[in-house]
Amino acid sequence: MTTKSPDEIKSAVRATYTQVAQGASCCGPSCGAPMDTGAVSIGRIGYAPERVGAIPAAVLESNAGCGNPLAHARPKAGETVLDLGSGGGLDCFLAAQEVGPQGRVIGLDMTDAMLQKAEENRRKLGLAQVEFRKGEMEAMPVESGAVDIIISNCVINLSPDKAAVFRESFRVLRPGGRFVVSDVVKTGEGGEGSMEEWCACIAGALTPEDYLGGLRAAGFEEAEIVERKPYIAQGHESNIIRAVKPR
Ligand SMILES: C[S@@+](CC[C@H](N)C(=O)[O-])C[C@H]1O[C@@H](n2cnc3c(N)ncnc32)[C@H](O)[C@@H]1O
């Protein structure tokens, strides 16, 4: 496990995803850790081509997800969705189609280059119900109880303080609200070490047991893994994790 401080981790993560917004597909000066990014991985991680057909190429190029949380979250018309670490905005734009003009989608991210790219594409798509907000998921700039569904795609593993992310997720959801995220989890040996591996979504991954335990400790019920897929890093999987805030 890396010995860097939380601030050092966050600044390395920000630097990495600034480069991903500019087209990079691996992490570190010597490309120490490959990442499964870009338009080529879209089908493999679970998006049907007809669902992403209307999404601008620039958004697909910045894709750095590891699954399709919306396939399980199934937002309804009029709901409010919060996407933690929204990146280029793909899941926000797809969620906007589901919640419709009466619904609301908030994309939260801490990296300016990603926020700028997402906002440019939001304007091109004319989606008034989508808003991108700058902030950190450990201290979300979001009102308590304001959100119906939290989604996230390959982001929570990057946090140096997962307990804070789970606590904040619980706070911003309304009673009965759903938490449905895609994330990398650790299921075997490998990828414990470098900062490059942390930024490539490997070294910070929790085991499935610790993920579910962390959600329960924050107050969530019905915490479960609903989908498991292989991930490019040895000893890791991409999982969809779901939990509910009690009514
Ligand atoms: C692996 S990318 C995933 C982006 C997007 N969800 C996707 O599927 O393409 C991680 C994103 O999370 C953001 N991020 C990482 N840590 C964060 C934090 N603590 N708070 C807010 N955003 C964060 C990064 O800036 C980056 O845009």
Where are any strands of DSSP class E within 75-129? 80-84, 104-109
Dist. CA 155 → ligand 1 center (Å)? 5
CA–CA gap between residue 28 and residue 51 (Å, rounded): 32
* Class of CATH domain 6-244: alpha beta
pLDDT (mean) for 239-247: 98
* Cβ–Cβ < 8 Å for 122, 132: yes
User: Can you give the pTM of this predicted structure?
Assistant: 0.96
Residues 186-206 pLDDT 10s: 999 887 778 989 998 999 999
CA 115, distance to chain mean position in Å, is 14
- What does the mean pLDDT of the chain come to? 92
> Which of 91, 110, 181 to probe ligand 1 with, by most ligand atoms within 8 A of CB?
110
C-alpha dihedral, 227 to 231 to 237 to 242, nearest 10° = -40
Assign 34 a pLDDT band (cuts: 50, 70, 90): low
Give the residue among 209, 87, 213 at the shortest CA–CA distance from 154. 87
Domain boundaries, the chain: 6-244
pLDDT at residue 30, as a whole number? 52
Give the pocket of ligand 1 (CB within 6 Å). 13, 17, 63-65, 85-88, 90, 108-111, 114, 136-138, 153-155, 158-159, 201
**Higher pLDDT among residues 42 and 157, named by residue:** 157
